[in-house]
Structure 1
Amino acid sequence: MLDKKNILGIIQDHQDEIDQLEYELEQARQWCMLESVKSLSNRLSYLKDNQYRYKLQAKAWGLIDKAEV
């Protein structure tokens, strides 16, 4: 469950996965792996959207600065 105690960890976990997927996406593009590119792009979009929402909530709780969102 999302709460003040774990939201920053969730945001960091999302960032770690985003970084990994961006690397994998670049590799898939270089090798013209169209199915993989689409799948990775969808997952990346999902994670970025969720991370943004979590950052907004963390900002509302006063856990992060406006500049971090």
Structure 2
Amino acid sequence: MPEQWTAEIIGEMHLNGITAKQLAAQLGYNPKYVSAVLNGHRSPKKAKQAFRESLKELVQQKQAV
């Protein structure tokens, strides 16, 4: 079952028009792995922090354009 933080990440991605592929590229991970984490199939340590930081950077980049 996905954790609350993954739902928050997915919601923020949706609101800012950011795809899982873009997030995966920012993280340096395979898109399938990112999908598995966001869907609750994987729970790596420190993922919450890494995903939030990468998403924050993507949102800032998008707003700067």
With the length of structure 2 as denominator, give the TM-score of the two structures.
0.43
Higher relative contact order (CA 8 A, sep 6+): 2
Q: In proportion to residue count, which structure has more helix?
A: 1
Q: Decide which structure has the larger Cα Rg and report it.
A: 1
